[in-house]
């Protein structure tokens, strides 16, 4: 399979980009990855790159976006930070990916059994990690289904799972709220954004359909509230 070119990227819609990722994850789950000549792809993209999507995911060694979505060189931007949190540098990177390089879709990808999420659930403080985990704390406090104080920690898998989903949703909202450039691209229908959670045990990526923002109406519905 060849790497994407400017011509092929220009034909991809946000919906098609999402379909490509879903199909790739299905191949990953079934161990049916596409046969790629990676060296050829490296040569094909040496003068430029035309990725169709940008994935914001965790640094966890088990969550490589290229692998779990079965994509090759030049296909996606992969932005990684513990807990898939959002800061100014990450938003700037996403603006480059979409406004400059032409990516059609942003995915905020959380995952099960995330160490950063567990650390935030336990209110861990350790050096510079303290500041990073503070960005996850709002999701911890937003989780209201777990009412027993002794259950609101990393030993409760349900609590951790709920916080994981909330953290993904908050990151999606933060990206749109903090970037006029990305907001404008979404309003014009040129890009979309969605959250998802990767199950480490099964390999399955579950896309959170209620986080899908693809036009002005969904911006109003999902972000301004």
- Please tell me whether residue 168 adopts helix, strand or coil conformation: helix
Spans of the chain, pLDDT less than 70: 1, 216, 219-220, 222-225
H runs (alpha helix) in 96-156: 115-121, 129-134, 137-142
Q: Which residues contact 130 (CB under 8 A, 6 or more apart)?
A: 124
E strand or H helix at 109, and its extent? Answer: strand 105-111
CA 73 to chain centroid, in Å, comes to: 18
- Please tell me whether residue 200 adopts helix, strand or coil conformation: coil
pLDDT value, residue 5: 75
How many C-beta neighbours within 10 Å does residue 224 have?
9
pLDDT value, residue 48: 72
CATH architecture of 6-222: 3-Layer(aba) Sandwich (3.40)
The size of the chain, in residues, is 225
Q: If you ran DSSP here, which 8-state letter would residue 149 be given?
A: G
d(CA 90, CA 79): 7
pLDDT value, residue 45: 72
d(CA 53, CA 57): 13
How many C-beta neighbours within 10 Å does residue 126 have?
9
């Amino acid at each position: 399979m060849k790497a994407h070119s400017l011509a092929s990227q220009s034909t991809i819609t946000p919906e098609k980009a999402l379909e490509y990722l879903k199909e790739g994850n299905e191949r990953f789950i079934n161990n049916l990855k596409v046969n790629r000549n990676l060296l050829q792809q490296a040569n094909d993209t040496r003068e430029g790159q035309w990725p169709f999507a940008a994935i914001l995911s965790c640094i966890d060694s088990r969550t490589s976006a290229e692998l779990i979505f079965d994509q090759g060189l030049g296909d996606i931007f992969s932005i990684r930070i513990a807990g898939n949190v959002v800061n100014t540098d990450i938003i700037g990177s996403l603006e480059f990916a979409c406004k400059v390089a032409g990516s059609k879709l942003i995915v905020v990808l959380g995952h099960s059994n995330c160490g950063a999420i567990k650390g935030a659930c336990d209110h861990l403080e350790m050096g510079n990690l303290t500041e990073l985990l503070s960005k996850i704390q709002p999701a911890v406090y937003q989780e209201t289904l777990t009412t027993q104080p002794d259950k609101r920690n990393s030993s409760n898998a349900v609590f951790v799972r709920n916080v994981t989903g909330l953290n993904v949703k908050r990151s999606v909202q933060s990206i749109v709220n903090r970037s006029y450039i990305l907001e404008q691209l979404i309003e014009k229908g040129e890009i979309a954004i969605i959250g998802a959670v990767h199950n480490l045990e099964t390999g399955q990526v579950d896309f959170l359909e209620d986080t899908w923002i693809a036009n002005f109406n969904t911006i109003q519905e999902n972000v301004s509230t």
